[in-house]
Homo-oligomer: A and B are copies of this chain.
């Protein structure tokens, strides 16, 4: 479904979101630790997210990553997936034809337009604030 990069990206963003709620900026090391990911690889993904202006990064002592608190409820998981994996999951052909084309559909088209729509909507309506709240309450976890 998602690439490993994307999974790390989602988890990292959620961790940053959780901390940003309480105005805490977090370091690369802390993030990688919290989500159980390879540190240098995580750095690359955070760079992508920073360029996509989903997160903010600051260099130097006490630097790290954060998300504008008032933006938390406006950033969706969909945006993260788009930034890292692109749109293939949302608009590519499930069976790998050059493009999705309802005029000349692949054999799974009618089945998958439904699933993709639901997937896309679910991700588009999942915002960082809501998801991070569950994390705060300990209802969900980022690593095991």
Contact = CB atoms under 8 A, between A and B. Distances in A.
A97 B7 CA distance: 9
A107 B135 contact: yes
A134 interface: yes
Interface of A: 1-2, 4, 7-8, 10-11, 14, 77, 89, 94-98, 101, 104-109, 111-112, 114-115, 118-119, 122, 126, 131-132, 134-135, 139-144
Contacts of A77: 108
A141 B47 CA distance: 40
A1 B85 CA distance: 11
A140 to B, nearest CB: 4
A95 B6 CA distance: 8
